[in-house]
Structure formats: structure tokens, C-alpha cells
Structure 1
Amino acid sequence: MLPFNPKPRPCKVCRNGFVPSKPLQAVCGLKCAVKKVKQDKAEDRAQIRTRKEAIKKLPELKAEAQTAFNAFIRERDKHQPCICCGLPLGAGALGGSFDCGHYRSVGSAAHLRYDERNAHAQRKQCNRWGAGRAVDYRMGLIERIGLAAVEALEADSQVRKFTADELREIRDTYRAKTKELKKTSKEATL
């Protein structure tokens, strides 16, 4: 005889009724127990991910947003020439590597760091070792977005502080935009 009075209850996984053989038994059998453990692990991982996201500090969020933005710019401009020198982006570099170069640098105009008009694909030779090549960049930028837009970028000196929620939104938006660009470029090649 069992030391407790078992009453029929529904299984937590399949919802079929069963009579438990142990006081804390929540599932009807081994298959449901395995499924329950997998569900619990997935829920735990989701909770951990949510908690980790909630405790991220501004510098970490800023870095994630910048990474997502830069990836979008590189994907957007990958078929265009370098904004500075006009050479193909992969010219002179192993593996065709290139950067997301900013016309007004992130250090001098942090409020424009996520502005699509201010960032374009740039060969690493021009961006890193050519000190950004500001004069050539400006000439290429005028060709792409026009003189009025370039002058508006140069005149914009409004200081802007990004909140954690804004940085998360920027990060998620540019991740989605990059994914969409990759999807459309993949469909175009098929």
C-alpha cells in the first residue's frame, strides 16, 4: 500500500490523466519526463538570457549597437566601391575585408555614430592606415548623398546621450535590417 492517497491528475506535458506513484510526480511516464526536463532547461536558459540582458551596462549596449550598425553598413555597401578612393572594397586586402568608416568620427561626433548618412563602407587601408582620408571621404560622400546632406552632417553638433532602451532598439533594428539585406541579396543571386 502506498504511504499517501494518490488521486488522478493530469500530466504536465501530455495532459493525459494518470495516477502518481510518488507524491511529487508531475508526469505520466519516462517520455513525458524527458520532455519536461527539456522544457525546463529551455525556460531556464530564456530566464538567464532575460536577466543577463537586464543587467547590461551602457558601454556594453553601446558596443553591441555599434557592432550591429557597422555590420549593416558593410552589408549595405558591399557592392559599392570605397567611399574614399573608389577602388573595389576587397582591393589589396586578403579576403576582401573592409570597414564601416564614419565621416565624422565616433570620437568627435558620438551623436552621429548610428547615422546612416555618416557611415559608409571603406577599405581598411583608407580607414585605419590612411587616417580616414577625410578630404577624399567628403568628396565621395558628396557624390553619394549630396552637398546639402554633407553640410547638414558637418553642422550637426547637438550632443545626444543614448539610453539603454534606445541602444537596445538600435541594436535590434540594425540586426533585423542586416538579416533582411542578407536575405534579399541571397534571393537575388538565386
Structure 2
Amino acid sequence: MKRTELKRATPLKSGGIQARERRKKRCKVCKAMFAPARDFQAVCGEIACAIAHAPANQVRARKALADIERKEIKVRKEKLKSRADHLREAQVAVNEYVRMRDAHLPCISCDSSPSDHDLITGSRWDAGHYRSVGACPELRFEPLNIHRQCVKCNRNLSGNAVEYRIRLVLRIGAEQVAFLEGPHPARKYTVEEIKTIKAEYRVKTRELKRAAA
């Protein structure tokens, strides 16, 4: 008598267990709902949650979460900055470059070389504009218009402009000084342009510091 082969109505999937959709879970760390890839998965796919859930990695987890929080705070602060804030930060970057560039030179207005070694805080050096930002905002970031200047000349003597010009001609030449004193088209920097200026001068300052090391 010929036997008839039995066939299953529903064939088994690979591994012997039929695939099924897993129910969503709540992450034990961030409390967000997620679809687990494994039955015993307790946290979502975020790296920070995975690290935080591992008992052996608590120190690392705290550091990772703190880094994430700092980055988020930085992003939020960046969004809250006004155009004036960006201008100030860019000017700080340019001024730092100027002081580093002129570190071997005396004050542009009085030829003095005051030392900072006996100061507890602060500095005896500024980055002084020949044509002030108020008088000529178009040249506020022009390096030819900014030179290392002692605090006395820059702040107490309002830039000591007459002496500044005499030494500026000797330093950069009469033609360049005439350019600074000439007319300049109005300039309205965009926030992105200001950010680019800040980044460029930070790079230039780092290069000067490496060269001086």
C-alpha cells in the first residue's frame, strides 16, 4: 500500500519559529517608546541609553550624557545669540590674532613695551583700531586698521591718534594709510559672514601660536 506524504498547512520559517511582530516597549533610560529588535532588549537604539543601561559603564554613561547635554545647551545658546553678539565674538577673535601677530612689536602709538608678567589678571595690551569702529565700521575687521596698542594709549588717551598715525605710516607705508583714510563702501555683514570671519581668525591665531612654540 502506497503511503501519502503528510504536508504542513503552514510551513515553518527559518529557525523553526514563525516570525511575529514584537510589541513596542518603553526605554528604561529615556522612557521613549521603541520597537525592539530582540525579545529581551530593554533600551532603545540610542547610544547614550545603551551605555547608561549597562551597570559596568556608569561613569562612561554619565560623561556621555553630560557631553550630549553640553552640546544641546551650546546649540540653544547659539540660536539665542543676536547679530551684536556675533559681532563681538568675531572682534574678539580678530583682536586676539592682532595681539599675537604684533607680539614682537612695541605699542603702535608710543613705542613702549609694557610687560604683563607682574599682573595678576588682565593685560597691558589691547588691539587698537586706527579708524574706530564707530567712525568707520567697514574697517572693524581690517587687520591693517588694527595694531597692538598699550592700554594707556588705547583707553586713557582715546587711541592716541596723532602718534598712532606717525608710526602707522612707518609700519605699513603711506599708501596703505591713505587707503585706510579713504572712503569705503557701506558694509552690512550677515551673521554667516561674521561667523566665517571668527572661524578664519581663530585658525590664523592657532597657526601663529604653533609657529611661536
TM over 0.5: yes
Amino acid in structure 2 at the alignment position of 1:148: E
Q: Percent identity?
A: 36
Structure 1 partner of 2:54: 29
CA RMSD of aligned residues (A): 2.8
Task: Kindly provide the CA deviation profile for residues 94-117 of structure 1, in whole angstroms up to 9, marking residues without a partner as x.
Answer: 546111111001110111010000
Q: Given the alignment of the two structures, is residue 106 of structure 1 paired with residue 133 of structure 2, yes or no?
A: yes
After superposition, the Cα gap between the structure-2 partners of 1:19 and 1:33, relative to the gap in structure 1 and judged at 3 Å, is farther
Q: CA offset at residue 36 of structure 1?
A: 4.1
After superposition, residues 37-116 of structure 1 pair within 5 angstroms as 37-88=62-113, 90=114, 95=119, 97-116=124-143
Amino acid in structure 2 at the alignment position of 1:59: A
Q: Given the alignment of the two structures, is residue 162 of structure 1 paired with residue 162 of structure 2, yes or no?
A: no
Task: Kindly provide the CA deviation profile for residues 156-182 of structure 1, in whole angstroms up to 9, marking residues without a partner as x.
Answer: 332111111111111122122222212
After superposition, the Cα gap between the structure-2 partners of 1:32 and 1:19, relative to the gap in structure 1 and judged at 3 Å, is farther
Larger CA deviation: 116-125 vs 22-31: 22-31
Structure 2 partner of 1:126: 153
Amino acid in structure 2 at the alignment position of 1:183: R
- Equivalenced residues, count: 170
Structure 1 partner of 2:208: 181
Q: CA offset at residue 40 of structure 1?
A: 3.3
Structure 2 partner of 1:153: 180
Task: Kindly provide the CA deviation profile for residues 6-37 of structure 1, in whole angstroms up to 9, marking residues without a partner as x.
Answer: 9xxxxxxxxxx9873x7447647312455444
Tell whether the 8 Å contact from 2:138 to 2:185 is kept in structure 1 after alignment: yes
After superposition, the Cα gap between the structure-2 partners of 1:132 and 1:33, relative to the gap in structure 1 and judged at 3 Å, is closer
Q: CA offset at residue 43 of structure 1?
A: 2.3
Structure index of larger Rg: 2
Structure 2: give runs of 5+ residues left out of the alignment. 1-21, 24-36
Q: TM-score, normalised by structure 2?
A: 0.69
Structure 1: give runs of 5+ residues left out of the alignment. 7-16
Q: TM-score, normalised by structure 1?
A: 0.77
